[in-house]
C-alpha cells in the first residue's frame, strides 16, 4: 500500500503500466461515513436538478469538495505532475445491490479535447470495491495512445453514450483494482478500464476525480470549468470554479448547472 508521496520507482511504474494502487486516502470509517451520507441524500431534490448530480458533485456538497482536496491524493498527483493542480471533473459511480449495470472498456478523456493528455483519475473507494461488486479492471500499458471508440447507448452501460473501445482488449492480461473503503487507485486518463455489475447485497460507491496540471489546455469541445486544488494557476486556460458553501444551496446549484449545461448536447461525455 502507498501511504506516502510516491517515489521515483512508483512514478516510473505509473508511467510504465498506467495505474498505481492502492493509496491510503481516507480512514476506512470516514469513507464509510461519506458513503452512508450519500445514501441518505434527498433523492427527490437530486433528481429534480436539470443536470446529473453525480457529475462534478463537489460543486454541490462541501463534503465532496473536501475529498477532491485530500492531501494524500494530492501528494501523489504532485509527484506525477508538479505542484499546480486542477480538478477538471469528479463523478460518483454508484452501483446498487444486484444491479446489472456495468461500464465497458473505455478511456476517460477520449472526448475531452485536451492537450497535453496529462490527466490522472483518482478513484476513491467509499465502500469496498471487489470483483464481485464491480471494481475496476485495468489493461496495463494501454494508456500509451488514444484508441477509437464506438457508442452503443446500451441500457446496461453506465456511460452516458455507451462508449466502448473499438479494439479488442486482451482480458487475460487485465488487472483488478480491488480496494478497501478509503483506499484509492490512480490511473492515466488514457488507461483502458472497465467494471462489471454489482452482484452483492450492498451498494458499491466510488468517487472518480480527474486531476490535471494547470498547463493542460482545451483544444476542442464545450468549455470545461475547473477547480484549483493546489498551487497556482499561471495559465488561465480554464474558468475557475469556487467551492460550495452549503449542501445544495442556491449558489451551488447555479454553479453546478452552469458548469455542466454546455455538455448536455454531448450527453455529458465531454466532462
Q: Inform me whether the pLDDT recorded for 45 exceeds 90.
A: yes
**Residue 195 in contact with residue 37, Cβ under 8 Å?**
no
Please indicate, yes or no, if residue 64 is contained in any of the structural domains.
yes
Tell me the whole-structure pTM to 2 decimals: 0.94
Q: How many domains does the chain have?
A: 1
* Structural domain harbouring 188: 8-266
- Residue 158's contacts (CB-CB under 8 Å, 6 or more residues apart) are 93, 95, 101, 102, 103
Please indicate, yes or no, if residue 45 is contained in any of the structural domains.
yes
Please indicate, yes or no, if residue 149 is contained in any of the structural domains.
yes
- Of the chain, the percentage scoring pLDDT greater than 70 comes to 98
Please indicate, yes or no, if residue 1 is contained in any of the structural domains.
no
Q: Inform me whether the pLDDT recorded for 167 exceeds 80.
A: no
142 three-state secondary structure: helix
Please indicate, yes or no, if residue 24 is contained in any of the structural domains.
yes
Interval 106-118: pLDDT, tens? 898 888 999 999 9
Please indicate, yes or no, if residue 186 is contained in any of the structural domains.
yes
Interval 177-197: pLDDT, tens? 999 999 999 999 999 999 999
pLDDT at 4: 61
Which residue carries 452503443 as its cell?
152
- Of the chain, the percentage scoring pLDDT greater than 90 comes to 77
For residue 225, the cross-strand partners are 239
Instruction: Provide the CB-side half-sphere exposure for 122 (13 A, CA).
Output: 29
**Per DSSP, which regions of 119-182 are E strands?**
120-125, 136-138, 149-151, 163-165, 175-176
**Residue 24 in contact with residue 183, Cβ under 8 Å?**
yes
Please indicate, yes or no, if residue 126 is contained in any of the structural domains.
yes
Please indicate, yes or no, if residue 3 is contained in any of the structural domains.
no
User: Can you give the CATH number for the domain in which 149 is found?
Assistant: 2.60.120.620
Interval 61-83: pLDDT, tens? 999 999 999 999 999 999 999 99
Amino acid at each position: 500500500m502507498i501511504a506516502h508521496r510516491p517515489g521515483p520507482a512508483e512514478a516510473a511504474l505509473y508511467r510504465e503500466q498506467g495505474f498505481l494502487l492502492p493509496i491510503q486516502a481516507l480512514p476506512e470509517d470516514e469513507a464509510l461515513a461519506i458513503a452512508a451520507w450519500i445514501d441518505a441524500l434527498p433523492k427527490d431534490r437530486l433528481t429534480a436538478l436539470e443536470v446529473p448530480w453525480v457529475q462534478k458533485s463537489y460543486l454541490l456538497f462541501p463534503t465532496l469538495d473536501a475529498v477532491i482536496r485530500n492531501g494524500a491524493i494530492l501528494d501523489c498527483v504532485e509527484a506525477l505532475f508538479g505542484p499546480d493542480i486542477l480538478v477538471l471533473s469528479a463523478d460518483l459511480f454508484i452501483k446498487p445491490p444486484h444491479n446489472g449495470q456495468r461500464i465497458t472498456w473505455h478511456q476517460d478523456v477520449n472526448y475531452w479535447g485536451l492537450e497535453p493528455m496529462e490527466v490522472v483519475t483518482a478513484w476513491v473507494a467509499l465502500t469496498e470495491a471487489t470483483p464481485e461488486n464491480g471494481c475496476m479492471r485495468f489493461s496495463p500499458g494501454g494508456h500509451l495512445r488514444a484508441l477509437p471508440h464506438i457508442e452503443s447507448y446500451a441500457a446496461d452501460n453506465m456511460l452516458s453514450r455507451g462508449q466502448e473501445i473499438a479494439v479488442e482488449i486482451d482480458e487475460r492480461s487485465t488487472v483488478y483494482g480491488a480496494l478497501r473503503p478509503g483506499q484509492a487507485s490512480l490511473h492515466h486518463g488514457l488507461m483502458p478500464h472497465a467494471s462489471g455489475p454489482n452482484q452483492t447485497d450492498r451498494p458499491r460507491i466510488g468517487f472518480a476525480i480527474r486531476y490535471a496540471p494547470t498547463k493542460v489546455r482545451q483544444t476542442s469541445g464545450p468549455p470545461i470549468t475547473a477547480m484549483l486544488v493546489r498551487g497556482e494557476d499561471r495559465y488561465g486556460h480554464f474558468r475557475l470554479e469556487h467551492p460550495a458553501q452549503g449542501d445544495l444551496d442556491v449558489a451551488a446549484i447555479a454553479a453546478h448547472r452552469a458548469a455542466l449545461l454546455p455538455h448536455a448536447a454531448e450527453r455529458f461525455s465531454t466532462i
